Chain A
Amino acid sequence: GENVEQHPSTLSVQEGDSAVIKCTYSDSASNYFPWYKQELGKRPQLIIDIRSNVGEKKDQRIAVTLNKTAKHFSLHITETQPEDSAVYFCAATSTMYSGGGADGLTFGKGTHLIIQP
């Protein structure tokens, strides 16, 4: 099955600086890579995703890059703001389901992003 590693587990940056969170995956068949943000006490929310047919995707201050050869993908947040403080989870899956079983999303262990004022 898929194995997703996420680093760092905690990241503290000054407000206004950039933050980068990195993930690696093991299954070369994986082709969909979402990122979720979980604020304290709330449910995870999808913030951006990327499919394996593109190498980068941007949405305002958030961008995700994908290196299929190296099997890693990263989340970049620029001009960080206090409201960016949260736990961020990366995930990977193949949308090509196999046989009678089902392949679901595999999550990384999360990165606690702290924005220092």
Chain B
Amino acid sequence: GAGVSQSPSNKVTEKGKDVELRCDPISGHTALYWYRQRLGQGLEFLIYFQGNSAPDKSGLPSDRFSAERTGESVSTLTIQRTQQEDSAVYLCASSLASTASLSFGPGTRLTVT
């Protein structure tokens, strides 16, 4: 079946502009995560949605970052007033809550010039 999809695959933006990244999780997956991965680095947790529970926003690095999720489907990660240090691959992952086994999307490579 279809896996996790993300769009765009690549985004180049100028410093100070806002960007919106999209994630379409696997149908039926109630849990959705956003991670940031800088070049050659590990997975940095950003935010986690689980069903109707309040999202865990503890990983968002600043108030320039926000994320929304519509029900148990699409999620968008918004970065306002982008900075060069925001350049990274942003990975989305989803899972069935009962197994917690994650399926990752292909990522969005964000470059802030």
Q: Which residues of A contact B (CB under 8 A)?
A: 1, 32, 34, 36, 43-46, 49, 89, 93, 95, 97, 100-110
Contact = CB atoms under 8 A, between A and B. Distances in A.
Contacts of B107: 43
A45 B106 CA distance: 11
Interface string B39-63: 0011101001110011110100000
Interface in B81-110: 91, 93, 97-98, 100-107
A34 B102 contact: yes
Interface of B: 31, 33, 35, 41-43, 45, 48-50, 53-56, 58, 91, 93, 97-98, 100-107
Given A93-B100, A107-B42, A110-B42, A102 B49 contact: yes
Contact of B91 (A43, A104, A109): A43
B54 A46 contact: no
A79 B45 CA distance: 33
B91 A44 contact: yes
A92 B101 CA distance: 11
A44 B43 contact: yes
Given A36-B102, A89-B42, A104 B50 contact: yes
A89 B60 CA distance: 21
A46 B43 contact: no
B55 to A, nearest CB: 7
Contacts of B50: 97, 102, 104
B56 A101 contact: yes
B54 A101 contact: yes
Contacts of A103: 56
A5 to B, nearest CB: 12
Nearest to A111: B42
Q: Which 3 A/B pairs are nearest by Cβ-Cβ distance? A: A104-B48, A102-B50, A109-B42
